[in-house]
A and B are shown apart, each in its own frame.
Chain A
Amino acid sequence: MHAHVDTFSYDDAIVRKFLWATFIWGLVGMLVGLWIALEMANPAFNLGLEWFSFGRLRPLHTNAVIFAFAGNAIFTGIYYSTQRLLKARMFSDGLSNFHFWGWQAIIVAAALTLPLGFTQAKEYAELEWPIDLAIAVVWVAFAINVFGTIAKRREQHIYVAIWFYIASIVTVAILHIFNNLSVPAGALKSYSIYAGVQDAFMQWWYGHNAVAFFLTTPFLGLMYYFMPKAADRPVFSYKLSILHFWTIVFMYIWAGPHHLHYTALPDWASTLGMLFSVMLWMPSWGGMVNGLLTLRGAWNKVAEEPVLKFFVVAITAYGMSTFEGPMLSVKSVNALAHYTDWIIAHVHTGALGWNGFLTFGMIYWLAPRLFQAPLHSKKLAEWHFWVATFGILLYVAAIYSAGITQGLMWRAFDETGRLQYPDFVETVMRLMPMYWVRVVGGTLYIIGMLIFGYNIWRTWMARPRTYEVPVLSAPPLRPGATPAHPAPVGEGLLARFTSARWHRRWEGAPLFFTVMVILAVVVASLAEILPTFLIKSNVPTIASVKPYTPLELAGRDLYIKEGCFNCHSQMVRPLRHETERWGEYSKPGEFVYDHPFLWGSRRIGPDLARIGGKYPDLWHVEHFKAPRAVVQRSIMPAYAHLLERPLDFAGIQSRVDAMAMLGVPYGEALTRAPAMARTQAEAMAAGIELAGGPAGLADREVIALIAYLQRLGKDIQQAAATTADAAGVAGGVGR
C-alpha cells in the first residue's frame, strides 16, 4: 500500500434511511393536505373535533411537506452527493445518525403538538420553543458533519452543488435562530420578542428565505449533481452555475418584504423587497436554462428515462414559479393576489412540481444504486409521472382560477359605486367547484405517490442479502495544494485581477467561502431589518393604543391556539375596496403590543382587524357554537368546545408577566391579572345572559376569545374620536 493513498468507503446506510423517511413523511404530509382541501370544500370534514379543524391541521400540512418531506429529501441527496463530490466518508457516522433520528423525533413532536394547538403562530415557524431548541441542536450536528467532511475531503475543488449546500446550512441556521427568539410563558407557550410590524418583518424575512434556503438552494444543489448524473454529461455551463449561486445568495435575502405589500410595513422596505424580487427573475431563469440545456444532445433519453422526465418537469416548474414570484411581488399584481388562493397555487407549482418531482427523479435514480437491484418497474415510474403531472395541472389550474376569481370579486364595484359583492361568503361560495377540482388533483398526486412507494418497496425487496460496500482509494489532499487544473494567465490588468492568487484560493477554501456567504446574508438582513427596529419614524405610535386586558390576552392566546390566523387576516390595506369593506386601514402603531403579530396571509374568512363591536357578544357565542346557524353558507369549523372548556384563569398571570418582560406596560395586571380577567368575564357573561343567551359562560374559554375579538380595532376608533373631539374644540363647535 502506498503511503500517499487513502482507502475509504461511503456511508450509504444513512442515505437509505433518509430515503425511506422522505417517502413516509411525504405521504403523511400530502394526506393531511388532502384532508384540509376536503375541509375547505365541505366543512363537515372538520368532524366537529378540535384536533382536526383546519386551523390546527394546516400548519401540520405545511410543516410536514416542507420540513419532513422536502427536508428528508434534501438530506438524502446531500448525504449521497457530498461524500462522492468530496471523495470522503461523512465526517462522523454518529453525527449522521444523530441527525437522522433527531430530525425524525422533531417531526413526531410537530405532529403531536400542532394538532393540540401548541403554536407560535408564525408561518413555517409554528413549533414551540423546546422543539425550536432541538431543531437548532440537530441542525448544528448536521453542519458539523458536513463541514467536517469538507475539511477531510480528497478533492481540491468544491463543486457548485456543495456551495448551495453550505449556503443553505448557514442561512437556515441564522433564519431559524433570529425568527424564533421568544420569551417562554410555559412549557409549550412563548411570545415572540418582536411585536407588530417588526415581528411581521422578521417573520417574512424568515418565511421568504425559508423558501429560498430550504426549498430552493438545496434543491438547486441536488439539481446540479443529479441532473448531470442522470444525463451523463456535465452541466451546460459551469460559469452560469457560479453566477446563479452568487446572485441567489446576494438577492434572495432582500426579497422578504414582498409578502407585506400594502400592509403597515414602511413603504421603502416594501419597494426594496419588490425590486430585489424582480431582479431575482434573471438568475433563476439562468439556473433553469442551465438545468434544461444540460440535456442538449440527450433529449432522446428523456423519452425513455422516467428520471429525466421528472427532472425536466421539475426544472420547468422551477422556471414557472420563479417567473411568477417576481411578478407577484410587483405591488399592483400583489394588490390583487395577496390573501387569495393565487398564492396557494403559486406555492404548489413550486412544491409539487419543483420539490416533489426533483425528489422523485432523484430517488428513482438512487434506488437501484442504494438497494443494489434494478428498479422494479420503469413502466410504473412512467405511470407515476403521468398521473402526478395531471394531478398538478388540475390542482393549479383550479386554484389559480379560484385566486383570481376571488381577488376580482373583492375589488368589484357596481355602477352606483358600491361593493358588488358586499357579502364575503358569496366570494367563498364561488370557489367551491374549484375546491373540488383541487381535491381530485391532489388525490391523483397522492395516487402517484403510492405507485412510487410500491415501486421503491419492490426494488428494496430485491436487494442482495448484504449490501456490497465498495472500498475506494484516493490520495489525501495536502494542505495548501494547488488545483490540478491551473488557469492560463493572460496579459493586462483584467487578466491579472481575474487570475489573482487570492481568487484561486478562495474557490477551494471552504472557510473563506462560508464567511462570504454569511457576510452576504447578514449584511443584507441588517441593512433591511435594522432601520425598522431602530428608526422611530417607521412605527409612529398611537396614544390610544393600549395593551390587551388580561382576559383579552388569554383570548388572543386561544385565537393563536385554534389557528384562526390561518383563515382570518387582521390587516386592512389602504385600498378603496378594502376600506369600503372592512373599515379604516391598518396603521403600524396599532400593533405595538402584538407579540406575535397576527396579520395572516390568506383570507379564507373575513378580515378581523375591525371586528370589535361589529356584532354583539351573543352573536359570537352562537357563531362559535354553530357557524352555519348564523351564516348559512359559512365554511368555518364549529368551536362548540370553547363553550364547554373552563378558562384557565390562574395561568393568565404568567402570560401577563411574560408580556411585561417584553416591555408591554402592564400596571395593575402585574399583580392581579386573574382577578381582573374574572371581573371582565363576569360582566360580559351577564350581558350575554341578559340578551337571552346561555348562562354560565363566565368561566368558559369562549368569553376570553370574544373579549379579544371585541377589542380588535377599538383603540384606533378611540383615536379617531379623540382627534375629532380635539378638532371640534379647536373650531369652537362643542358636542
Chain B
Amino acid sequence: MKLVDVMSASGLSSYAIVALLLFVAAFLAIVIRTFSPGSTARYEAPSRLPLSDDVVTPAPRAQE
C-alpha cells in the first residue's frame, strides 16, 4: 500500500475547510485583541517609533 492510497482513503478533501475555519478563528482572535479597550493607549508609543528613531541621547561625534 502506497502513501497515496492511505491518503486517498482518509478523506482529506475536507481538510482544507478545517484549516480555513482555524484560520478564521485565529483571525477573529487577532481582531478582538487589536480593537479591544485600551489598545489605543497601548499602541501610542509604538506608532511613534519611526519618528523617534533619531532621538537618542546625544553623544560626542566620532573622530574621522
Q: Is the CB of A5 within 8 A of B23?
A: no
Q: Is the CB of B16 within 8 A of A272?
A: yes
Knowing A5-B57, A473-B56 touch, does A495 contact B36 (C-beta < 8 A)? yes
Which B residues lie within 8 Å of A490 (CB)?
A: 37-38
Residue of B nearest to A154 (CB): B56
Assess whether B1 is interfacial by the CB under 8 Å rule.
Answer: no
Assess whether A242 is interfacial by the CB under 8 Å rule.
Answer: yes
Task: Please give the distance in Å from B3's CB to the nearest CB on chain A.
Answer: 7
Scoring A5, A85, A468, A498 by chain B CB atoms within 10 A of each residue's CB, the highest score goes to: A498
Task: Please give the distance in Å from B29's CB to the nearest CB on chain A.
Answer: 9
Q: Is the CB of A495 within 8 A of B64?
A: no
Task: Please give the distance in Å from A243's CB to the nearest CB on chain B.
Answer: 6
Q: Is the CB of B43 within 8 A of A239?
A: yes
Residue of B nearest to A528 (CB): B16
* A196 CA to B3 CA, complexed, in Å: 19
* A382 CA to B22 CA, complexed, in Å: 49
Which A residues lie within 8 Å of B5 (CB)?
A: 536
Which A residues lie within 8 Å of B61 (CB)?
A: 468, 470-471
Q: Is the CB of A485 within 8 A of B30?
A: no
Which B residues lie within 8 Å of A233 (CB)?
A: 51
Assess whether A562 is interfacial by the CB under 8 Å rule.
Answer: no
* A503 CA to B7 CA, complexed, in Å: 37
Assess whether A652 is interfacial by the CB under 8 Å rule.
Answer: no
Which A residues lie within 8 Å of B45 (CB)?
A: 157, 483-485
Q: Is the CB of B15 within 8 A of A499?
A: no
A interface residue count range (under 10 / 10 to 19 / 20 to 34 / 35 or more):
35 or more
Q: Is the CB of A246 within 8 A of B38?
A: no
* A229 CA to B49 CA, complexed, in Å: 10
* A97 CA to B3 CA, complexed, in Å: 45
Assess whether A466 is interfacial by the CB under 8 Å rule.
Answer: yes
- Contact pattern, A 568-594, Cβ under 8 Å of B = 1, otherwise 0: 000000000000000000000000000
Question: Which residues from 36 to 61 on chain B have a C-beta closer than 8 Å to any C-beta of chain A?
Answer: 36-51, 53-54, 56-57, 59-61
Q: Is the CB of B16 within 8 A of A87?
A: no
Assess whether A423 is interfacial by the CB under 8 Å rule.
Answer: no
* A611 CA to B18 CA, complexed, in Å: 42
Q: Is the CB of A527 within 8 A of B49?
A: no
Knowing A466-B64, A498-B37, A524-B19 touch, does A235 contact B30 (C-beta < 8 A)? no
Q: Is the CB of B50 within 8 A of A228?
A: yes
Q: Is the CB of A85 within 8 A of B3?
A: no
Q: Is the CB of A527 within 8 A of B38?
A: no
Residue of B nearest to A529 (CB): B16
Q: Is the CB of A535 within 8 A of B7?
A: yes
* A87 CA to B57 CA, complexed, in Å: 12
* A246 CA to B28 CA, complexed, in Å: 11
Question: Which residues from 488 to 542 on chain A have a C-beta closer than 8 Å to any C-beta of chain B?
Answer: 488-490, 494-495, 497-499, 503, 520, 523-524, 526-528, 530-531, 534-537
Knowing A87-B56, A159-B49, A235-B47 touch, does A537 contact B8 (C-beta < 8 A)? yes
- Contact pattern, A 143-180, Cβ under 8 Å of B = 1, otherwise 0: 00000000000010101110000000000000000000
Assess whether A9 is interfacial by the CB under 8 Å rule.
Answer: yes
Q: Is the CB of B16 within 8 A of A469?
A: no
* A18 CA to B19 CA, complexed, in Å: 40
Q: Is the CB of B50 within 8 A of A161?
A: yes
Q: Is the CB of A531 within 8 A of B41?
A: no
Which A residues lie within 8 Å of B16 (CB)?
A: 268, 272, 527-528, 531
Count A-B contacts at CB 8 Å. Answer: 145
* A485 CA to B47 CA, complexed, in Å: 12
Scoring B7, B27, B47, B51 by chain A CB atoms within 10 A of each residue's CB, the highest score goes to: B47
Assess whether A238 is interfacial by the CB under 8 Å rule.
Answer: yes
Residue of B nearest to A523 (CB): B19
Q: Is the CB of B12 within 8 A of A157?
A: no
Q: Is the CB of A474 within 8 A of B43?
A: no
Q: Is the CB of B22 within 8 A of A523?
A: yes
Task: Please give the distance in Å from B32's CB to the nearest CB on chain A.
Answer: 7
- Contact pattern, A 236-251, Cβ under 8 Å of B = 1, otherwise 0: 0011001100110010
Q: Is the CB of B38 within 8 A of A243?
A: no
Q: Is the CB of A527 within 8 A of B15?
A: yes
Q: Is the CB of A234 within 8 A of B57?
A: no
Residue of B nearest to A534 (CB): B7
Contact of B53 among A87, A232, A242, A485 (CB under 8 A): A87
Contact of A503 among B3, B15, B33, B35 (CB under 8 A): B33
* A538 CA to B46 CA, complexed, in Å: 48
* A520 CA to B40 CA, complexed, in Å: 26
Task: Please give the distance in Å from A125's CB to the nearest CB on chain B.
Answer: 24
Q: Is the CB of A250 within 8 A of B27?
A: yes
Knowing A523-B19, A531-B16, A535-B8 touch, does A232 contact B39 (C-beta < 8 A)? no
* A534 CA to B13 CA, complexed, in Å: 10
Knowing A5-B57, A250-B26, A523-B19 touch, does A238 contact B31 (C-beta < 8 A)? no
Which B residues lie within 8 Å of A503 (CB)?
A: 33
* A247 CA to B51 CA, complexed, in Å: 26
Contact of B59 among A247, A473, A534 (CB under 8 A): A473
Contact of A159 among B27, B41, B50 (CB under 8 A): B50
Task: Please give the distance in Å from B40's CB to the nearest CB on chain A.
Answer: 8
* A473 CA to B56 CA, complexed, in Å: 6
Q: Is the CB of B12 within 8 A of A535?
A: yes
Knowing A225-B50, A235-B47, A499-B38 touch, does A534 contact B57 (C-beta < 8 A)? no
Which A residues lie within 8 Å of B62 (CB)?
A: 9, 469-471
Task: Please give the distance in Å from B36's CB to the nearest CB on chain A.
Answer: 4
Which A residues lie within 8 Å of B51 (CB)?
A: 228-229, 232-234
Knowing A466-B64, A488-B38 touch, does A238 contact B46 (C-beta < 8 A)? yes
* A5 CA to B49 CA, complexed, in Å: 19
Q: Is the CB of A534 within 8 A of B4?
A: yes
Task: Please give the distance in Å from A528's CB to the nearest CB on chain B.
Answer: 6
Q: Is the CB of A242 within 8 A of B38?
A: no
Which A residues lie within 8 Å of B15 (CB)?
A: 527, 530-531
Scoring B8, B53, B62 by chain A CB atoms within 10 A of each residue's CB, the highest score goes to: B53
* A262 CA to B11 CA, complexed, in Å: 24
Contact of B46 among A5, A157, A268 (CB under 8 A): A157
Task: Please give the distance in Å from A267's CB to the nearest CB on chain B.
Answer: 12
* A732 CA to B33 CA, complexed, in Å: 72
Question: Which residues from 436 to 492 on chain A have a C-beta closer than 8 Å to any C-beta of chain B?
Answer: 466, 468-474, 483-485, 487-490
Task: Please give the distance in Å from B21's CB to the nearest CB on chain A.
Answer: 11
* A232 CA to B52 CA, complexed, in Å: 10
Task: Please give the distance in Å from A178's CB to the nearest CB on chain B.
Answer: 18
Which A residues lie within 8 Å of B64 (CB)?
A: 466, 468-469
Knowing A239-B43, A471-B61 touch, does A534 contact B53 (C-beta < 8 A)? no
Contact of B36 among A84, A498, A534 (CB under 8 A): A498
Chain B residues in the interface with A (C-beta under 8 A): 3-5, 7-8, 12-13, 15-16, 18-20, 22-23, 26-27, 30-51, 53-54, 56-57, 59-62, 64
A-B contact sample (11 more), CB < 8 A, given A268-B13, A272-B16: A238-B47, A242-B30, A247-B27, A471-B61, A483-B45, A487-B39, A488-B41, A524-B19, A526-B19, A531-B12, A531-B16
6 A-B pairs (CB sep. < 8 Å): A87-B53, A239-B34, A246-B30, A272-B20, A483-B45, A490-B38
In the complex, the 4 A-B pairs of residues with the closest C-beta atoms, listed nearest first: A534-B7, A527-B19, A498-B36, A238-B47
